[in-house]
Every structure is written in structure tokens, then in C-alpha cells.
């Protein structure tokens, strides 16, 4: 699979955005359903296609820091995060600039904006070619498992998307880590593709400088991101966590070596990064007949394991207590 788009594909995508349409694009985290972030109509069609509640704001994607500075107010700390981790799987929540051209629908009426610079070469090509920032949530129906391939996008949103660009499998496979920098203390709103250890290794002195930070980071007050519902990323079948072996009828999604009952294994070597990249794909594969449920091995809370456990816990939450 080539890692670059043709001039024709770039032209097609930009023309669709100019006409307030959506395009599904690969990123290094998951596929995004993308539209012009300054277009009320474009953004509204993202909400409509996903069946997403409008109180749940979207992430805005730009090619460069210069572009980011036009739409968000960066504190010195925010600039350090950007320098350390962009392009990459990190989203920063920052105040909107007063003159921001972004549609208010993007922020669901909040005075903040979630913004990131993706690293995927195809997304970079598109963002560099297009004149405006691009809003893109994951390209799945609201509450479904996020797509990590073009085929996943097609199976979740079908023919409704005018153009699905195929960039192969996403290398990270989990959504970006979201950090809120609008308060005195940085707060992780969603664990994701950039692991907390990596953040701490580089930003440690700053985070520890703030008294409450280390506990705040690990306890991740996930309710602050309006979209962090208790039930999310969910397969149709019930999920049972920390399972040693499957019950009759269940599929077994294993992790680590020595799993004779495994239907699929997230990583036979016990590597959480490999598990992250396979998680959504394997959940989709096992969410099918003849299985009646999915049992999942325990996953350690190290590195991307934090984000994997976050997604699994939400996916295992019964529908009637979702928010
Ligand atoms: O990796 C990713 O982040 C992918 C790719 C496509 O970039 N995008 C993604 O978007 O996961 P989405 O819409 O599925 O998740 C966006 C999350 C939601 O939980 C939303 O509530 C939160 O970001 N969010 C967006 N704007 C926010 C804001 N201003 N304040 C707090 N949370 C915000
Ligand atoms: Mg999503």
C-alpha cells in the first residue's frame, strides 16, 4: 500500500470539502470522517452521518503550528507540548482565538477547541493542500468501534461517505491522547495513542512542578471530555474482561503467550503497542457469529495498556447505563 495520495485524489478531496462534503481519511491513530472545520454545513454533515449528539465536539486537524496558532491560544506550556509531540497522536484542548474562523458546531458551543497535527503522510498531504482546518472525528457510527482500515469505514458508514481514501492499516490503532491545557494543571481527558509514560518522560518536570498533576494525570477525569461516554467503542456482543478462558459460546481474545483457547491473540509476545494496533480490528472480527460474546485476557496497565483498558472498559459497559 503506497503511503502517498495522487494529485487527483488530493484534488477530489479538496473539491468535496469546498462543497461542504465529507471525506474519510486515514490517520496514524484511526480513520477520520473529515470536513471543512469552518463550514457549518460540512460539520453538520459529519454529525448527521455519524448519528453523533451535537453536544460532543470534534477534533480539528491542521498541517502546521502556524495554522494552529490562528485558531487556538497557545500558552508557553502548550507550545512545549506542541514542539515535543506534534505531528503525532496528541490532541490539545485550548481556548479558541477570538477571531477563530471555525464553525461553532465544531466546539459544540464551548469556547475551547481540540486540535492536533497528525503525522500520517496522506493526512499531511491533504492538510497542506487545503486552505482551511479540517474537523474529523473517528469515521464510524457514533458509539461503534473506531475504524482502523478503509474497509472498516465502509462497513460502519457504508456508501454515505462520498470518498474513502485508503491508507492501509493505522499504525497506532487507538485514538489520540487528549490533554486539556485550559486550566492551571494539564489534565488527561482521554488516554490514547501517546502513552502517559512518554508524556511524563518529556514533560515530567513541568507536570511534577504542579502539585496535583501526577495524580490528576493517572486518574484521568474522563467526564470532562463531553464525548467520553461510559459506553463507547462497543461491539454488538457483550464483552467480558480479565478472562482466563472463554465460557461456552464466547470468543477468546487473548494477550500474551500460552493461550491454547485463543481465537485471536492481541500480541503473543505480550507487547501492548502491538495489541493497541490490533485491538479494534480483532474486536470487529470476533463480533460475529457463531460467537455470543467476547472474553478478553487481562491487559497490563503499562504504556498503551492504559488506553487499551480504557477502551475495553467502555466497550464492556452495558448499553442501559451509557451516558
Ligand atoms: O485520533 C483521534 O483523535 C481521531 C482522529 C481521526 O484524529 N479522532 C477522534 O475524534 O477520535 P472523536 O471525535 O472520535 O473524539 C474526539 C474527542 C471526544 O471525546 C470529544 O468530546 C473531545 O474529543 N473533545 C473535542 N473537543 C473538545 C473540547 N473543546 N473540550 C473537551 N473535549 C473535547
Ligand atoms: Mg470516536
**Number of Cα atoms under 13 Å in the Cβ half of residue 318:** 2
Residue 288 and residue 84: Cα distance in Å, rounded?
A: 41
Which of 29, 135, 167, 227 for a ligand 1 pocket mutation test, highest count of atoms within 8 Å of Cβ? 227
Task: Say yes or no: CB of residue 227 within 6 Å of ligand 1.
Answer: yes
Please state the rounded mean pLDDT for residues 100-120. Answer: 95
- Write the pLDDT tens digit of every residue in 236-255: 999 999 999 999 999 999 99
Residue 102 and residue 234: Cα distance in Å, rounded?
A: 30
What long-range pairs does 194-199 form, CB within 8 A, spacing at least 24?
194/85, 194/88, 194/89, 194/90, 195/303, 195/304, 195/306, 195/307, 196/306, 197/302, 197/303, 199/85, 199/90
Atom 9, ligand 1: which residue's CA is nearest?
137
Which of 52, 137, 145, 194 for a ligand 1 pocket mutation test, highest count of atoms within 8 Å of Cβ? 137
| 53 upstream amide cis, omega within 30 of 0 | no
Which of 52, 63, 91 for a ligand 1 pocket mutation test, highest count of atoms within 8 Å of Cβ? 91
Nearest ligand (C-alpha, residue 137): 1
Cα(177) to centroid of ligand 1, in Å? 9
Cα(248) to centroid of ligand 2, in Å? 32
Give the torsion through C-alpha atoms of 267, 272, 275, 277, to 10 deg: -130
Mean pLDDT of the chain: 89
pTM for the whole thing?
A: 0.89
Would you place residue 2 in the very low, low, confident or very high pLDDT band (cuts 50, 70, 90)? Answer: low
Q: What is the pLDDT of residue 4?
A: 94
> Bridge partners of 253?
264, 296
Q: What is the pLDDT of residue 220?
A: 37
Q: What is the pLDDT of residue 222?
A: 37
> How far does CA 211 lie from the centroid of its chain?
29
- Write the pLDDT tens digit of every residue in 153-195: 999 998 899 999 999 999 999 999 999 999 888 888 889 999 8
Amino acid at each position: 500500500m503506497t503511503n502517498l495520495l495522487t494529485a487527483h485524489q488530493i484534488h477530489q478531496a479538496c473539491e468535496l470539502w469546498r462543497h461542504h462534503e465529507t471525506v474519510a481519511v486515514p490517520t496514524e491513530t484511526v480513520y477520520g470522517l473529515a470536513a471543512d472545520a469552518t463550514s457549518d454545513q460540512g460539520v453538520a454533515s459529519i454529525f448527521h452521518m455519524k448519528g453523533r449528539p451535537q453536544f460532543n465536539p470534534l477534533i480539528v486537524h491542521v498541517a502546521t503550528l502556524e495554522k494552529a496558532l490562528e485558531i487556538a491560544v497557545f500558552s508557553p506550556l502548550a507550545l512545549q507540548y506542541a514542539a515535543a509531540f506534534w505531528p503525532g497522536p496528541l490532541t490539545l484542548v485550548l481556548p479558541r482565538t477570538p477571531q477563530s474562523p471555525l464553525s461553532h458546531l465544531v466546539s459544540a458551543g464551548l469556547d475551547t477547541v481540540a486540535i492536533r497535527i497528525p503525522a500520517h503522510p496522506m493526512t499531511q498531504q491533504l492538510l497542506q493542500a487545503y486552505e482551511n482546518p479540517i474537523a474529523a472525528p473517528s469515521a464510524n457510527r457514533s458509539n461503534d468501534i473506531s475504524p482502523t482500515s478503509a474497509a472498516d469505514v465502509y462497513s460502519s458508514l457504508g456508501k454515505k461517505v462520498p470518498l474513502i481514501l485508503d491508507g492501509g492499516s493505522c499504525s497506532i490503532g487507538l485514538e489520540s491522547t487528549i490533554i486539556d491545557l485550559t486550566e492551571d494543571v494539564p489534565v488527561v481527558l482521554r488516554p490514547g495513542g501517546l502513552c502517559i509514560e512518554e508524556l511524563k518522560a518529556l514533560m515530567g518536570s513541568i507536570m511534577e512542578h504542579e502539585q496535583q498533576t501526577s495524580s490528576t494525570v493517572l486518574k484521568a477525569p474522563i467526564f470532562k471530555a463531553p464525548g467520553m461516554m461510559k459506553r463507547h467503542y462497543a461491539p454488538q456482543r457483550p464483552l467480558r474482561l480479565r478472562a482466563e478462558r472463554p465460557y461456552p459460546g464466547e470468543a477468546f481474545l487473548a494477550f500474551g503467550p500460552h493461550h491454547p483457547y485463543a481465537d485471536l491473540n492481541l500480541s503473543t509476545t505480550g507487547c501492548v503497542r502491538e495489541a493497541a494496533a490490533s485491538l479494534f480490528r480483532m474486536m470487529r472480527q470476533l463480533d460475529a457469529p457463531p460467537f455470543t460474546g467476547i472474553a478478553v485476557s487481562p491487559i497490563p496497565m503499562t504504556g498503551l495498556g492504559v488506553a487499551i483498558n480504557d477502551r475495553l472498559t467502555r466497550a464492556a459497559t452495558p448499553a442501559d447505563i451509557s451516558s
